[in-house]
């Protein structure tokens, strides 16, 4: 077992190391940012308005564009926003937060591009439901063996990853949090999670979307409000914390207190790795949800989906990181798993800090399970067919119980590897298709710069352009 763990750790370090995913992720995000002329900065306000204020488009789709956004947020705003941030800072130092920001800002371009493609090349399955994502657009947009290979590879990794990063690790985090804070036996948590997840999954994508759209905004708000209270109590430490973040991002961190010190490469590696783990930009998961959205044009849903990365990384991750650094918890003798709870406890009275973090972990992890169940199911049905849906849901629900009641030392590492391997075929596809993305994005925004065109006007535009989008 020790040799297996060692081999997995070595492979995990290679996948997330400076010679594979880190340059590919940052490079792809930077390249798309340039090709799209800084779209994530130019159109962020319009994207938020369209997704959160204007209401749903009247185009074809299974769920509203707001529900698609919250379902994707449900899958991304998870344990990575709490434990993942703490892990990055505990190993890489405060500078890791800067590289998480960079990953998020560049990742917004990647998230837009993959969501655009998810809608642009989506199809309808035998049940009349929309299906899209890298498992579809890589084969439809990139002709020949390369596209089929990339699509199949992504789908396989995604199915397996859904049971790890999207299931067992999340239910295990729920069980551990409830046991530590409230003394609830993991078996009880496992049974309850089994029942709740099974009940939601029986209703399919509409059921998942209704649940996530109801409680995802609530859980984010509760968590952020708690973080704001802590930061107000430590307002005097915010300037020095920001200085530490920006200076250590390029110099590494010297050993202080309980911190062991880190070099610049480790700071970047932890920031980028945990950044993607948190916001999933370029991973290829979010466009599967985007493809189900009711929208009149791929550009519109791409912009809405882009806001997901901003909410996840620039908002939620930032609050977690600043709380950890401002309270000084990052260099205290505290494990990464307990660091965020300890930081919140430093600014909130009594047991409120630990309670808020534990409840947040439960909600974040549960929502991630629901989102990833849809991702895995869509990829499996693409590989084998829609008849496998009910079987997948049954197995997925049972695995929730297993994750809650089993030690997952090896599973965490395997999940991290699969998470990274999913991104490879998708990132290659984004680079190959970047010209199409940039060309059609520029053309549509020239026609509808304020995203106010009516469905009829959009249909006439698409017909005139002859893009193939319907």
CA 124 from centroid of its chain's CA atoms:
25
CATH number for the domain whose boundaries are 9-459 = 1.20.1740
For residue range 235-282, list pLDDT tens digits in order: 999 999 999 999 998 887 765 666 666 677 788 888 887 887 778 888
Token pair, residue 4, equals: 């297996």
For residue range 175-195, list pLDDT tens digits in order: 988 888 888 999 999 999 999
**What does pTM read for this prediction?**
0.91
For residue range 346-373, list pLDDT tens digits in order: 888 878 888 888 888 888 888 889 889 9
**Residue 30 confidence (pLDDT) above 90:** yes
DSSP assigned state of 10: H
Token pair 């949800």 is found at 289
**Is residue 370 within 8 Å of residue 212, measured between CB atoms?**
yes
> In whole numbers, what is the pLDDT of the chain averaged over residues?
88
Residue 256: what pLDDT? 64
Q: What distance in Å separates the CA atoms of residue 337 and residue 90, rounded to the nearest whole number? A: 10
Q: Which of 470, 109, 106, 48 is nearest to 297 (CA)?
A: 470
DSSP string, 110-175: HHHHHHHHHHHT-EE-TTS-EE-SHHHHHHHHS-SHHHHHHHHHHHHHHHHHHHIIIIIHHHHHHH
**Is residue 224 within 8 Å of residue 316, measured between CB atoms?**
yes
Residue 240: what pLDDT? 95
171/333: higher pLDDT: 171
Q: What distance in Å separates the CA atoms of residue 440 and residue 465, rounded to the nearest whole number? A: 9
Residue 424: what pLDDT? 93
Residue count of the chain: 470
DSSP string, 319-384: HHHHHHHHTTGGGSS--HHHHHHHHHHTTSSTTHHHHHHHHHHHHHHHHHHHHHHHHHHHHHHHHT
Q: How confident is the model at residue 391 (pLDDT cuts 50, 70, 90)?
A: very high
Q: Which of 322, 271, 329, 307 is nearest to 103 (CA)?
A: 271
- The overall longest dimension of the chain from CA atoms, in Å, is 65
**Is residue 69 within 8 Å of residue 304, measured between CB atoms?**
yes
154/92: higher pLDDT: 154
**Is residue 231 within 8 Å of residue 354, measured between CB atoms?**
no
All structural domains of the chain with their residue ranges: 9-459
Half-sphere exposure of 114 (CA within 13 A, CB side): 32
Residue 190: what pLDDT? 93
For residue range 444-455, list pLDDT tens digits in order: 999 999 998 888
**Is residue 72 within 8 Å of residue 293, measured between CB atoms?**
no
**In the beta sheet, which residues pair with residue 124?**
130
């Amino acid at each position: 077992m020790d040799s297996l763990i060692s081999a997995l750790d070595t492979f995990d370090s290679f996948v997330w190391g400076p010679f594979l995913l880190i340059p590919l992720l940052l490079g792809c995000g930077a390249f798309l940012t340039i090709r799209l002329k800084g779209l994530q900065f130019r159109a962020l306000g319009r994207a938020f308005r369209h997704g959160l204020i204007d209401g749903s488009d009247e185009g074809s789709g299974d769920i509203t564009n707001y529900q698609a956004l919250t379902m994707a947020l449900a899958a991304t705003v998870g344990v990575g926003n709490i434990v993942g941030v703490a892990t990055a800072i505990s190993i890489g130092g405060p500078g890791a937060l800067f590289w998480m920001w960079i990953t998020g800002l560049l990742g917004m371009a990647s998230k837009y591009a993959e969501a655009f493609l998810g809608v642009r090349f989506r199809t309808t399955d035998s049940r009349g439901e929309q299906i899209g994502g890298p498992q579809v657009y890589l084969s439809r947009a990139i002709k020949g063996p390369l596209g089929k290979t990339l699509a199949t590879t992504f789908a396989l990794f995604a199915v397996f990853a859904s049971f790890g990063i999207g299931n067992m690790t999340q239910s295990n985090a729920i069980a551990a949090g409830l046991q530590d804070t409230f003394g609830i036996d993991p078996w009880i948590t496992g049974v309850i999670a089994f029942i709740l997840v099974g009940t939601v999954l029986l209703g399919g994508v509409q059921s998942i979307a209704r649940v996530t759209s109801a409680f995802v905004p609530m859980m984010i708000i509760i968590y952020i409000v708690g973080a704001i209270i802590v930061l107000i109590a430590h307002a005097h430490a915010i300037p020095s914390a920001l200085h530490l973040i920006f200076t250590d991002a390029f110099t590494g961190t010297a050993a202080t207190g309980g911190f062991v010190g880190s070099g610049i490469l480790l700071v970047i590696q932890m920031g980028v790795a945990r950044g993607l783990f948190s916001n999933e930009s370029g991973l290829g998961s979010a466009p599967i949800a985007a493809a189900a959205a009711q929208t009149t044009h791929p550009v519109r849903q791409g912009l809405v989906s882009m806001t997901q990365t901003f909410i996840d990384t620039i908002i939620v991750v930032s609050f977690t990181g600043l709380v950890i650094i401002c309270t000084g918890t990052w260099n205290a003798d505290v494990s990464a798993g307990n660091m965020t709870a300890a930081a919140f406890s430093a600014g909130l009275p009594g047991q409120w800090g630990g309670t808020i973090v534990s409840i947040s972990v439960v909600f974040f992890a549960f929502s991630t399970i629901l989102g990833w169940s849809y991702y895995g199911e869509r990829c499996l049905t693409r590989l084998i067919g829609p008849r496998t849906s009910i079987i997948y849901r049954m197995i997925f629900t049972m695995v929730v119980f297993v994750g809650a009641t089993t030690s997952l030392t090896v599973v965490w590492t395997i999940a991290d590897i699969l998470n990274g391997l999913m991104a490879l075929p998708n990132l290659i596809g984004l680079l190959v298709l970047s010209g199409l993305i940039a060309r059609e994005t520029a053309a549509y925004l020239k026609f509808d710069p304020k995203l106010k065109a009516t469905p009829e006007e959009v249909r006439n535009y698409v017909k005139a352009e002859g893009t193939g989008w319907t």
